Amino acid sequence: MNVRLTIQYDGTDFAGWQTQARGERTVQGELEGALALLEGEAVTVHGAGRTDAGVHAEAQVASVTLRREWSPEKLRAAINGNIGRDVRVTGVEAAGDGFHARFSAKGKTYRYYVFNEHFISPFVVRYAHHEARELSVGRMRECGQLFLGVHDWSAFSSAQAEVEDRVRNVTRLEVGEFWSDQARGRVVEISVSADGFLRYMARSIAGTLLAVGRGESGEDEIARALATGDRALAGATAPARGLTLVEVHYDVGEWRQAGVV
Amino acid sequence: MNVRLTIQYDGTDFAGWQTQARGERTVQGELEGALALLEGEAVTVHGAGRTDAGVHAEAQVASVTLRREWSPEKLRAAINGNIGRDVRVTGVEAAGDGFHARFSAKGKTYRYYVFNEHFISPFVVRYAHHEARELSVGRMRECGQLFLGVHDWSAFSSAQAEVEDRVRNVTRLEVGEFWSDQARGRVVEISVSADGFLRYMARSIAGTLLAVGRGESGEDEIARALATGDRALAGATAPARGLTLVEVHYDVGEWRQAGVV
């Protein structure tokens, strides 16, 4: 049976999503280990987004084909009983044979959290980047609009990105702020949706907007970076710990309809 | 100079507030270690609440007398530079000589977080207790009102509590719920304020209200437990990880006025 998993994780203690040759702990490896125990043979779990080391997920999506037939509830409980408490399968659903978490995805949404106080709260230190200098959310919001639409993202991705096509469509970019009662401080959040993300693209957008918020960059730099692909015009790549994969987008019902069992 | 510290901590990796003879890691020990480095001699930090192992604090208050004169900003930065990232001094203020964080306190507020889904989110697992069975918040709210006022709390505290006087005044008890977007689930929160708490009192109240929420206890049991002091009528002590010291209450300006420098 082909299965769709929804997964949450605190990426702090993982070397990212993807199984590493070096044997480091990864989310994919954690899930595949549990499923191999349950299935009695090796299985491959395909994730929608191969998040980097330290990046978190509220609702990562993965697909996996299993030999045995499982009730979704039992499978969820069985996997969760065999993985660390920093990763949880929050949903299991039977999917059509044609569903593949990555290839069927139409887009993703990432969020970047910044804790903007003189101190970094122990309650958000695992999930938020710390910026002690005051950020102008208004300026970040204005400049963020420049990222919307179809652009070549060469200036906002890893130089080592092995892809040929660096054109992506950013469909939404919002900069918000809220007060965290628990952390006792202001949190600035940058949400960005696109039909796809190059490596480091979300963190590079966040880093550039942080430079804008501190008054160190502005419209000109962003427009020129987008036009020329010059990495020197983009801000530094913001640290992984502030980034969370929030949602993977599929066409409505697609994963059910794709040859659903 | 006498100093008032406001402190946040994630209690997960601490053996509680108070320095232990066995040399385990404590919040008090962490702060005293940093201050001893800065002062060049041993100092004693007095906390308002001696939270148990695993219990967190959003705004613990402590007082300490220092030999050197410090600007509050420099002292805060210097302490934070010498302690783990799971504890932060969020505020430093000069206090009058008469101020003592514990003896000057007029009351405290604790909050107990319960994550009420079939799974426990990695984003709240350090700060919330997990209850998979559905809780009736309405019933918890009704029964919670029975705790208000002056009672003998023998049924709701540790049998080993060395205090003579087990009478305390609970001035506020609220049961709320909210949806956590990050954790993707319902959080039930129990907030309780009193002029003082016996050991395990907050966790025992929380455990009793959890039993109420599951339909296993009710008004009768609570009323009889309060009247008789019979521990068997109270619910189990809820796990430490769900509890947070939210606020320490002082008379307005008291710590400033008490012989302020």
Q: Are B123 and A127 in contact (CB under 8 A)?
A: yes
Q: Which residues of B are catalytic?
A: 52
Q: Which two tokens stand for residue A231?
A: 């990495």
Question: What are the backbone angles phi and psi of residue B177, rounded to the nearest 5°?
Answer: -145, 150
Q: Are B106 and B221 in contact (CB under 8 A)?
A: no
Is any Cβ of chain B less than 8 angstroms from the Cβ of A178? no
Helix axes A219-228, A201-213, angle to 10 degrees: 150
Which pLDDT does position A161 carry in this prediction? 60
Segment A214-222 mean pLDDT: 96
How confident is the model over A49-63, as pLDDT tens digits? 999 999 999 999 999
The continuous run of DSSP H or E covering A189 comes out as strand A185-194
pLDDT band at A256 (very low <50, low <70, confident <90, very high): low
How confident is the model over A65-97, as pLDDT tens digits? 999 999 999 999 999 999 999 999 999 999 999
How confident is the model over A121-143, as pLDDT tens digits? 999 999 999 999 999 999 999 99
How confident is the model over A25-35, as pLDDT tens digits? 999 999 999 99
Length reported for chain A: 261
Q: Are B241 and B130 in contact (CB under 8 A)?
A: no
Which pLDDT does position B163 carry in this prediction? 76
Q: Do B9 and A122 touch (CB under 8 A)?
A: yes
Whether the pLDDT of residue A260 is over 50: the answer is no
Q: What ipTM was assigned to the predicted interfaces of this complex?
A: 0.90
Is any Cβ of chain A less than 8 angstroms from the Cβ of B74? no
Whether the pLDDT of residue A106 is over 60: the answer is yes
Segment A193-203 mean pLDDT: 96
Q: Show the low-confidence residues of chain B (pLDDT under 70).
A: 161-162, 253-261
Percent residues over pLDDT 70 in chain A: 95
Class of domain B106-247: alpha beta
What is the value of pTM for the model shown? Answer: 0.92
Write out the residue limits of the CATH 3.30.70.660 domain(s) in chain B: 106-247
Whether the pLDDT of residue A259 is over 80: the answer is no
Q: Which residue is closest to A180 within chain B, CA to CA?
A: B58
Length reported for chain B: 261
Domain A2-103, CATH: 3.30.70.580
Is any Cβ of chain B less than 8 angstroms from the Cβ of A103? no
Whether the pLDDT of residue A163 is over 90: the answer is no
Which pLDDT does position A261 carry in this prediction? 36
Write out the residue limits of the CATH 3.30.70.580 domain(s) in chain B: 2-103
Helix ranges (H only) for chain B are 27-39, 72-80, 137-144, 201-213, 219-228, 254-257
Q: Using CB atoms and an 8 Å cut-off, which of residues 207-236 of chain A contact chain B?
A: none
Compute, in degrees rounded to 10, the torsion defined by CA atoms B75, B109, B53, B28.
20
Q: Which residue is closest to B119 within chain A, CA to CA?
A: A90
- B120: nearest CB among A56, A88, A121: A88
Question: What are the backbone angles phi and psi of residue B2, rounded to the nearest 5°?
Answer: -95, 130
The alpha carbon of residue A121 is apart from the nearest alpha carbon of chain B, in Å, by 7
**Which chain A positions have a beta carbon within 8 Å of B12's beta carbon?**
none
Computed over every residue of chain A, the mean pLDDT equals 94
